[in-house]
Amino acid sequence: MVMDLVMEGKREKGPIESKYMKGVRHLCESGITRVPNKYILAVPERPQVMGEQKTTSHLNLKLPVIDLARLHTSDRSQVLESLEEACKLYGFFQVVNHNIPCNATRRMIDVGRRFFELPFEERVKYMSTDIRSPVRYGTSFNQNTDDVFCWRDFLKLNCHPLDSVLPYWPSSPSDLREEATSYAMQTKSLFLVLMGAILETLGADTGILREFNDDGSHLMIVNCYPACPEPNLTLGMPPHSDYGFLTLLLQDDVEGLQVQCKREWVAVDPVPNSIVVNIGDHLEIFSNGRYKSVLHRVLVNSSKSRMSVASLHSLPPDRMVSPSPELVNQNNPRLYKDTNFAAFLDYMSSCESKHKNFLESRKLA
């Protein structure tokens, strides 16, 4: 049975493809011992493994660490300078003293893990290929368009407006709605603090914060990367940038996140009790290229499953994102077309999204 899924030298065709649509957890529960061809990347796209000549991709990157508690002290100007440097040079940073309690983050990771441990018959209730669904259990990056699947299952929860979408969220585990709601509210508050500070570093009008607060889009993605029998052949997530203004990433203690730095893949060294923050395509557009979204990917390993929770924040779905007027002038001409979340969804529905293709489609010639 298992070997029917692994046919060396050729890709499986026909009805067997539906097995992959059920997700990586389902494959692993079937007892596979090799990676099916559907998940095997072309050689140039495969991750480097320890022992090969090129080991740069395994060096740990010391991302800037921003202590948010210092924003409310006499050190505020220094914190803003550090934040500006992090946004300009890295596009990624970690925040500590962010006011989300450690027990809240632990509970969120735990309830997410327990969701993926539910019987497949329970998980499949939420499986959908509709990328606009308020709740969606799926696999890979975009199972509708991916030619080669990645080693990832996910639960996507639309978090705005919470009162309207909450009834659609999974009711099992019994505490998932409560924990996810609490965590969503806390990440929204953290996002508003971070965006306020980032707008200050840009010299942009902070009035946009009202739109983020009242009707801003908020998508929470619980990611599961099961242990993989041949991790050198596949990826948990392919190289990509995120669409929104900021992504706030909560991780467990299993390494896997890599950031592209000077054309090399570098492992992110986790900081205890921190949340990783990265700039999205919308903020690159809004800042007129001053702050850039950065390619990142996820590795898998052969011994441990990995969990993460990504919170993606942007303007209301129908609100156009444009370069801020304060950042466009004769010396800094406009670099991007207007866009919105609907345009991103349309792009995702029709294209295999990889690297920064969507953002490239928004650039002016």
pLDDT tens digits along 164-177: 999 999 999 999 99
CB 349 within 8 A of CB 129: no
Nearest Cα neighbor of 313 from 216, 181, 204, 241 is 216
Q: How far is CA 341 from the centre of its chain?
A: 15
What CATH number did the domain enclosing 247 receive?
A: 2.60.120.330
Q: Is 114 left (phi over 0), alpha (psi -120 to 50) or beta?
A: alpha
Q: What is the pLDDT of residue 60?
A: 67
- Residue 69 CB coordination number (10 Å): 13
Q: How confident is the model at residue 356 (pLDDT cuts 50, 70, 90)?
A: low
Looking at the predicted structure, is the pLDDT value of residue 335 above 80?
yes
Q: Mean pLDDT in the chain?
A: 88
Nearby residues of 344 by Cβ (< 8 Å), 6 or more positions away: 243, 281, 358
Looking at the predicted structure, is the pLDDT value of residue 342 above 50?
yes
DSSP state, residue 210 = H
Query: How far is residue 14's CA from residue 352's CA, in Å, rounded to a whole number?
Result: 20
CA separation (Å) from 8 to 5, 20, 40, 149, 180? 10, 17, 11, 17, 42
Looking at the predicted structure, is the pLDDT value of residue 343 above 70?
yes
Q: Average the pLDDT over each of 11-20, 200-209, 241-250 and give the range with the smallest value.
A: 11-20
Mean pLDDT for the stretch of residues 187-191: 98
Looking at the predicted structure, is the pLDDT value of residue 350 above 70?
no
Q: What is the pLDDT of residue 354?
A: 57
**Number of structural domains in the chain:** 1
Q: Supply φ then ψ for residue 250, to 5 degrees.
A: -105, 130
Q: State the pairing for strand pair 217-225/153-158.
A: antiparallel
Q: Average the pLDDT over each of 131-140, 227-236, 262-271, 281-290 and give the range with the smallest value.
A: 262-271
Query: How far is residue 79's CA from residue 65's CA, in Å, rounded to a whole number?
Result: 10
Residue range(s) defining the domain that contains residue 305: 2-362
CA separation (Å) from 242 to 122, 225, 238, 346, 350? 29, 18, 12, 15, 17
Mean pLDDT for the stretch of residues 184-208: 97
For residue range 43-97, what is the model confidence (pLDDT) as tens digits? 999 997 543 434 444 566 788 999 999 999 999 999 999 999 999 999 999 999 9
Burial class (CB in 10 A: 0-12, 13-18, 19+), 303: exposed
Q: State the pairing for strand pair 92-96/275-279.
A: antiparallel
Looking at the predicted structure, is the pLDDT value of residue 196 above 90?
yes
Q: Average the pLDDT over each of 13-22, 271-280, 304-313 and give the range with the smallest value.
A: 13-22
